[in-house]
Amino acid sequence: MDEAAQRPPPPGPVPADDARFMGEALAVADRALALGEPPVGACIVHAGVVLAAEHNGVIGSPDATAHAEILAIRAACRAVRAPRLDDCVLYATVEPCPMCLAACHYAGIRRVVFGASLDDMHRLTGDECFAPPPSALELAGPVRGDECRALLARWAGALPPGRLPGQP
């Protein structure tokens, strides 16, 4: 049984706002399809206002990281002039990949609403966003770890106590 089949159905009817903002994401996904991109769209909403709506741009850019979610996070951060998107919701037409989920975490996004699952994408394309099958990745380190840690410590030491980077 695949992961999507194991997920419980959402409790009760879909909230009207979720359906409305997924419509925004679907609209930009349609534009992606017209441009020959994977038809994935994402929008970021704060207090009922769309801060950003973007579609996949991996083919036209060409940039393997130009997923709709990443582009929407970048645009929303520019819109609010901050690296944090606390109290924002990300709407994506396809369940975000691990890279995009990590970006949501670092941006402070705590709620993600998606349409199709990654399994749905995999069934149609054979892989996620036309990427080649995963290959072995060599992770080597720490190399000059003491110097790297010292640099991080200097940076962190310059922050006021209790303040995270990017917070006013």
7-34 residue pLDDT tens: 655 566 778 899 999 999 999 999 999 9
| Mean pLDDT (the chain, rounded) | 84
Q: CA 65, 77, 92, 103 torsion: positive or negative?
A: positive
For the question of residue 24 being annotated catalytic, the response is: no
Over residues 34-44, the pLDDT tens digits come to 999 999 999 99
Task: Write down the pLDDT at residue 117.
Answer: 86
Residue 157: both structure tokens together: 């030491």
User: What is the per-residue pLDDT across 104-148, written as a single tens digit (0 to 9) for each?
Assistant: 999 999 999 999 988 888 777 776 554 555 566 566 677 888 888
**pTM listed for this prediction:** 0.79
Q: State the DSSP string of 125-146.
A: HSSGGGPPPP--------SSHH
Q: Where are the alpha helices (DSSP H) in 60-112?
A: 68-80, 98-107
Catalytic residue among 3, 37, 54, 69: 69
**Angle CA(166)–CA(64)–CA(76) in degrees, nearest 5?**
35
